[in-house]
Amino acid sequence: MSSVERIEALAAAVSAQLGTRVRRVAALPAELAYEVEPEQLLEVCLTLRDAETLRFELLMDVAGIDYLEFRKDDWQTESATRTGFSRARLIEEEIVPPAPVGGARFAVVYQLLSITHNRRLRLRARCERDAEPIIDSVVEVWAAANWFEREAFDLFGILFRGHPDLRRILTDYGFVGHPFRKDFPLIGNVEVRYDPDRKRVVYQPVSIEPRVLVPKVIREDNRYNPALREHPVPRS
């Protein structure tokens, strides 16, 4: 059975078990991805885990997504700007899925693995409320979600309803903001240093200047110029 046939067989099994509770979204040919409404997330996850034809016993990863400014600009590679390279509007629609239904800014993606059937599946659910994004925790379905959800909370500010211990996991307890939000300043909001007089770490306003982390010049070599692809780059 080819990889495409395997994917379509899995899609048929998902459709038989979940029907209209999930929507298939764009993915690479050898991948399968679905979107679910947030209010049906837990019910769908339980079915994906327990149905004999699916048996997605293992949660491989949970990741937050920030769709701010998603697909609003074309690629800008010939002239880098002070805001960095723009987001991918020109990528093929059948490869990169659009933003979640409803226009939500934040979403959560679950990467699932069926050990029983040796299959993978991606599930996406949008978060309610852009100002304070929130979604149900899946810790009761997959215990491995505990630290994954803490990471998404720490980096994106996504709240997981029902999580047993939703605390920061990567940044300091006094850290201000969420680093992976696209509106978070690259230099941060505060900085920390050790104060020898107080004999403890103190927080203070950022003292460094904003900096640009994108190249100012795009070199014309065989990675970008089709006319040069057949010729190696001279080495000095």
pLDDT per position as a tens digit, 190-236: 888 899 999 998 888 888 877 665 555 555 555 556 665 566 555 55
Convert the pLDDT of each residue in 132-147 to its tens digit. Answer: 999 999 999 999 999 9
Q: Select from 151, 147, 83, 97 the least CA-distant residue to 125.
A: 97
User: pTM of the predicted model, to two decimals?
Assistant: 0.78
For residue 167, give its domain range.
3-179
In the prediction, which pLDDT does 192 show? Answer: 84
In the prediction, which pLDDT does 156 show? Answer: 96
Domains identified in the chain, total number = 1
**pLDDT < 70 regions, the chain:** 71-98, 101, 211-236
Q: What is the Cα–Cα distance from 60 to 68, expressed in whole angstroms?
A: 26
Q: Select from 128, 92, 77 the least CA-distant residue to 107.
A: 128
Q: Is residue 49 part of a domain?
A: yes
Largest Cα separation within the chain, whole Å, is 70
First-to-last CA distance in the chain?
A: 50
Q: Is residue 197 part of a domain?
A: no
Q: Is residue 143 part of a domain?
A: yes
Q: What is the Cα–Cα distance from 164 to 137, expressed in whole angstroms?
A: 9
In the prediction, which pLDDT does 211 show? Answer: 64
In the prediction, which pLDDT does 60 show? Answer: 97
Q: What is the Cα–Cα distance from 10 to 199, expressed in whole angstroms?
A: 60
Q: Is residue 58 part of a domain?
A: yes
Q: Is residue 108 part of a domain?
A: yes
C-alpha neighbours within 13 Å on the C-beta side of residue 92: 6
138 Cβ neighbours under 8 A, 6+ residues apart: 41, 42, 45, 59, 62, 110, 145, 149
Q: Is residue 192 part of a domain?
A: no
Q: Select from 112, 111, 158, 115 the least CA-distant residue to 133.
A: 158
In the prediction, which pLDDT does 89 show? Answer: 45
In the prediction, which pLDDT does 162 show? Answer: 96
In the prediction, which pLDDT does 27 show? Answer: 87
The CATH number of whichever domain residue 137 belongs to comes to 3.30.460.80
Q: Is residue 91 part of a domain?
A: yes
Which H or E run includes 200?
strand 200-205
